[in-house]
Amino acid sequence: MSRKLTLADIADVRAYERERDEFRTRVIELKRRRRVHVGTIMTLLFENRDTIRFQIQEMARVEKLTTDDEIRIELDIYNPMIPDPGQVCATMFLELTTDDQMREWLPKLANVERSVLLVLSDGSRIRGTIDEQHEQGLTREAVTAAVHYLRWDLTPDQVEAFAAGEVRLEIDHPDYLESVVLGDATHAELLDDLRG
């Protein structure tokens, strides 16, 4: 069964308003387990079907999207971020809050989106790939964007190595050398994604 969302999965505005408080509370807790801070200015949110459904529902609510065609556009944009078995997907945010920070960090971190790895317990190093659909709009040679969409594809052996022990998220960009071990809750969430 596909994990991808269809029109039938997206509630219309009135139906969503009835479920929104409960769904929002559940997704906030889910995101807490799936969010990883790496160093001082970078955060990755590992996406799944519920986080992406929430994104589309909130977009439809705010932008007052009501037609099937409008919702289909959002589905086409965000469905690639729902991981298939053997994959994990993340939205990477550079947490820059001032113009000075943006002027300093966005040029300095050009190509950082190509510098994010999962390091498994067996020493395997899996470099994230940039979501093809978003790459053209977000990737530049001299400056980076504040948001990127990444995916890691693991072989069955790598999934087992992921399950077997500690997993680190590492950034090997020369101007942002950072590493963090995934917490137990995050590790469990991502293992569920990988195993389907």
Instruction: Enumerate residues 6+ apart whose C-beta is below 8 A from 6.
Output: 75
Domain boundaries, the chain: 7-195
What confidence tens digit (pLDDT) does each residue in 73-97 have? 999 999 999 999 999 999 999 999 9
pLDDT of residue 144: 87
Where does the pLDDT of residue 26 fall: very low under 50, low under 70, confident under 90, or very high at 90 and above? Answer: very high
Q: What is the dihedral of CA 162, 132, 82, 11, to 10 degrees?
A: 170
Average pLDDT of 185-193? Answer: 97
Q: Please, what is the average pLDDT of the chain? A: 93
Nearest to 158 by CA among 195, 185, 188: 195
pLDDT of residue 101: 94
Whether the predicted model's global pTM rises above the 0.85 cut: yes
What confidence tens digit (pLDDT) does each residue in 94-121 have? 999 999 999 999 999 999 999 999 999 9
